[in-house]
Chain A
Amino acid sequence: MTEVARKPRRFPLSTAIPLALLLLFVFLSIAGPWLWGTDAETSNVAVADQGISSAHWMGTDDLGRDVLARTLVATRSSLVLAVLATIVGGCAGVALGLLSAVSRRLGRLIDGAIGLLLAFPALLLAIFFAVLFGIGSVGSVLAVGAAFAPGFARITQTLTASVISKEYVEASRVLGKRPLYLTFRHILPNIGEPVILYSTIHIGTAVLALSGLSFLGLGVQPPSYDWGRLLNEGLTRIYTNPGVGIAPSIAIVLAGLTFNMVGERLSDILGGRTAAPPKLPSKQRGLDPAPARAETTGTTGELVEVRNLRVVYHTVDGVTTPVRDVSFSIAPGEKVGIVGESGSGKSMTASAVARLIDTPGRVEARTLRFLDADLLGHGTEVDRHLGRNMSVVFQDPGEALNPAIKIGTHLVEPSVIHQREPKPAARRKAIKALGSVAISDPARRFRQHQHELSGGMKQRVCIAIGLMGEARLIIADEPTTALDVTVQRQILRLINDIGEMTGAGLLFISHDIAVVSELCDRILVMYAGFVVEEARTADVFTSPAHPYTAMLLAASPDMDTDKSRQLPTIDGRMPGPGVDLPGCYFAARCPRADVTCTESAPPLRTLAEGHRVACWHPLTGAGAAGDDELTGVEAKI
């Protein structure tokens, strides 16, 4: 529903159909007996047990009464009884639910009873109560009501619990207000809407349940009749006239369907889900061939080589490009960091290198290579290769470990599959790996599940998974963001140590330039899907060339930061992945921007060895336009 952005209509079909059906049923319950009452109740043995004909669309029953007329007339009894049963069940259930909130001890008792009753199918409960209350209309209404009460009680309990914990109710309670006052003043008004909604859906269920009882002969008794009773009487006669089975069946299904749809629509409308989804701008130039703005760098023998990487998402809302043009390479054993604010495309870049972009996303690149594997290609061979040589550490270790599987399985699995190692050997290796990421008692942890581990320990496990193969590259996507500050540093050190130990390269993603600089040899700064600057870590700090880099540095506190002054923040917003600009994407936020910047895109140029920048007016290097402007930027920050 939210996936489609259609023209908003006053009455969309999803509202119009249930509404029309509801009105039809209301009309039939009111006018049915007046309009067709005589046809339905006049016996005429001369035309008994007739099949479907133009005079009797649904044929006649054993006494020659018109089946269609009887079905239409039965709408009133069927629906009225269903509404009554819902009211009985609703009142009893809400009362029970409220009662359980009043006293704690009583609450526990009621809670247990509701739990037990909910385990039983409603029909079984209804038969039980039908025995108690006796056979007939009154009995079946009470029985179905009683069978519904536990459901209403449970929903009331849940709703009441959330209202009671609200501050104003607490306040009233502290003021010594009586429970009855609380109930009528605060609780009932707050739970009214959802309970009524629940009731609407339940009218449909009540129709089905009451018809079921009548069908068994336990509900409405002759000479009265509802749909279930009609079906009960007709069942033995469907050989002579199928209409006696068809007509009440259609009525029952249609009524159930109608109240379900009305309930669903109501909850949609009340829940505000009909609001039109925010539409991303779909204005987007066609896919131009891989942009040739970046200079080619990199030598053969690189661990990772990325040239003109683009990640494109085609959705119903239009085309978005979270990664527009990224080129870089990682040498064996080198540690490369990518920094940028959220939405800069840094995680998408990592995902593309890890080959984890899922449809509807699409990866395009001139080159995307890891060791000798073409990551743009397909085939299980590439996967086996990656499974052995690449390891990915995710942001939230609690989410990255499967809750239903033992810690050990996570480690053993890839070994067994990719290296064809026998299980016992893989198990020994896994326990060793857990030991080397400083997890105490690794043999015990091996058998535990993720919920038994702390956050830091879970992230250690994720890192240990990478030790199972011969990882040549570790991709770590914000691996410390979800962790406690005290644990963050340990995890960073661990990642560093593992890199040193195995000689693996590292692609480290973070929004925090300080964290990246601690760990990495080289830093890529990303903005709006572009690499805007690339330099050795020391150069980034001593001579940032892109104004955005300078701003990131200024916004990141270090030892020399004057604590009495507020940290500067960067004003403005980054253009989203659906926006298409002809010039520099940072221009709108850049103090140095001029007409050139907004009109044409700056290429990624080499300033010095290993130092590249995409800026028309870099702060340092050959293109620097003068020191006065640089001081201007700093003054503004």
Chain B
Amino acid sequence: MSAQLAGEPDAGSPAGPAAGAATGRGVGQWAFFVGRKLLRLVVSLLILVTATFIMVHLIPGDPVLAALGDQATPQLIALRRHELGLDLSLPAQYFHYLQGVVTGDFGRSIVTDAPVSQLLATKFPNTLGLAIPAFVLVVLIALPDGLLTAIRTRGGRGRVTRTLFVNITGLLNSIPDYVLATLLSLIFVVAIKAFPAAGNGTAASYVLPVAALVVGPAASLSRIVRVEALKVLDAEYIRAAKARRLPTLLRYWRHVLPNMLTASLTFGGMILAGLIAGTVLVENVFGWPGVGTVIAQAVIQKDYPLIQGILLVLGATVLILNMIVDFVLGVLDPRSRMGAH
């Protein structure tokens, strides 16, 4: 490159400083964009932590008494109150709590006295182990499905395809994941006995929970992708790309896909967040050792430190996912970096 430029000094030199200036501005814009998003994440996390703190204090009655029951001795209650720091002043408690969260100390379970962080460390990876493969599958299914259906149903073509697509995805989308999980387990575990009923021991045990999570979101994302793809396919710049005689595949890859991804990805982020919540229900159907099976039990037993810990981890995951989606959007769509909204 430099050798070529040296051969053409008159072509290289005027472009040089201008190019440098443009890159400098680009970097500044990026730094600002990333900084703003990070600041938003920190503020959101702080609100999340505060909300879980306030939650325990808004509950009527004494949380320790509620968790341990009437039979507990006053000494045990006092001990747990002290352990939880409930005998301190409210600001001191808040500071204590905040300090704990930052250092990864979420306190101890009221019921079992085990450290919450330890429990999260063993259970949460299992939850992610369901949600992440599910999300990858959702995207891998929905993008081609939506795009191909859009291409087949452009401009009022393929009306049979369109009707089938709209109705099937509509139906699949309205089956909630826990119902689908139950039905799948009825068919494949009870009737056919093809898959294990519970646990995450083998690769086969992933199939049904992931399938239960994937179907609904894949259907709804396919619909979004199709609508977005139809919009993009009708855009004048696609016609212009065609006028430049770009090969069909390149046209779809470089011109249709990035424009279609913007809206699809915004929705994809919401789907991923929804999958995190969906695992809570699906885990309960398949006895999956993730945080979902723990939280329901914790709420019923009023094990507040445990509830706080799980809500914090799930909430923080959702917030971080949102930020990642924003970053990816920023890379794909320069307009979203400008902070127009």
Where the two chains meet, the residues of A that have a C-beta atom closer than 8 Å to any C-beta of B are 3-4, 116, 119-124, 127-128, 130-132, 134-135, 204, 208, 211-212, 215-218, 231, 235, 238-239, 242, 245-246, 249, 252-253, 256-257, 260, 315-316, 354, 356, 358-360, 380, 383-384, 386-387, 391-392, 394-396, 399-405, 409-410, 413-414, 417-418, 424, 428, 431-432, 441-444, 447-449, 451, 462, 465
Contacts and interface: CB of A to CB of B under 8 A. Distances in A.
Interface in B282-303: 284-285, 295-296, 299-300
Contacts of B236: 394-396, 399-400
B82 interface: no
Contact of B159 (A3, A211, A235, A386): A3
Given A127-B295, A360-B155, A257 B174 contact: yes
A-B pairs, top 9 by smallest CB distance, nearest first, are A387-B245, A121-B277, A399-B236, A443-B15, A392-B243, A123-B277, A404-B258, A216-B296, A400-B240
Dominant SS at the B interface?
helix
B85 interface: no
Nearest to A389: B245
Interface stretch (B67-75, B113-121, B307-315): B307-315
B156 interface: yes
B174 to A, nearest CB: 5
Given A124-B315, A131-B299, A359-B157, A400 B237 contact: yes
B149 interface: no
B222 interface: no
B246 interface: yes
A405 B332 CA distance: 9
A212 B280 CA distance: 10
Given A356-B239, A399-B236, A131 B307 contact: yes
A108 B85 CA distance: 35
A443 B14 contact: yes
B254 A405 contact: yes
B334 A449 contact: yes
Interface in B172-192: 174-176, 178-179, 182-183, 185-186, 190-191
Given A217-B300, A242-B186, A315-B156, A208 B245 contact: no
Contacts of B255: 402, 405
A447 B19 contact: yes
A204 B155 contact: no
Give the interface centre of A131, A252, A394, A451 by most chain B CB atoms within 10 Å.
A131
Nearest to A211: B176
B51 interface: yes
B276 interface: yes
Contacts of B203: none
A394 B245 contact: no
Give the interface centre of B15, B159, B322 by most chain A CB atoms within 10 Å.
B15
Contact of B318 (A124, A400, A442, A448): A124
Contacts of A443: 14-15, 18-19, 22
Dominant SS at the A interface?
helix
Nearest to B259: A404
A414 B245 contact: yes
Contact of A235 (B174, B182, B246): B182
A411 to B, nearest CB: 9
B42 interface: no
A360 B157 contact: yes
Contact of B8 (A123, A396, A399, A428): A428
A354 to B, nearest CB: 6
Given A212-B178, A217-B300, A218-B296, 13 more contacts: A121-B277, A123-B281, A217-B296, A246-B183, A354-B243, A360-B155, A391-B243, A400-B236, A405-B258, A410-B244, A413-B246, A417-B247, A449-B335
A449 B22 CA distance: 12
A454 B28 CA distance: 23
Given A128-B55, A239-B190, A402-B259, A380 B247 contact: yes
A316 B162 CA distance: 15
22 contacts: A3-B159, A116-B44, A119-B322, A123-B274, A124-B276, A127-B311, A128-B52, A131-B55, A131-B299, A134-B59, A215-B284, A246-B183, A253-B175, A257-B174, A358-B155, A399-B235, A402-B241, A404-B258, A413-B254, A414-B245, A417-B246, A417-B247
B284 A216 contact: yes
Interface string B151-165: 000011101000000
B300 A135 contact: yes
B208 interface: no
**Interface size bracket, B side:** 35 or more
Interface string B44-84: 10010001100100110000000000000000000000000
Given A216-B280, A414-B245, A428-B11, A404 B334 contact: yes
B44 to A, nearest CB: 6
Contacts of A462: 240
A451 to B, nearest CB: 6
B174 A119 contact: no
Contact of A231 (B179, B191, B258, B259): B179
B182 A231 contact: yes
A315 B154 CA distance: 12
B155 A359 contact: yes
Contacts of A231: 178-179, 182
Contacts of B159: 3-4, 316
Interface in B217-233: none
Contact of A128 (B311, B333, B334): B311
Contacts of A358: 155
A414 B318 contact: no
A227 to B, nearest CB: 9
Interface string B3-27: 0100010010011001101110010
Interface in B237-285: 237, 239-247, 250, 254-255, 258-259, 262, 273-274, 276-278, 280-281, 284-285
B237 A399 contact: yes
B174 A256 contact: yes
A131 B299 CA distance: 6
Given A231-B179, A316-B156, A387-B245, A132 B58 contact: yes
B311 A403 contact: no
Contacts of B333: 403-404
A420 to B, nearest CB: 13
A360 B277 CA distance: 45
A116 B190 CA distance: 42
Contacts of A395: 236
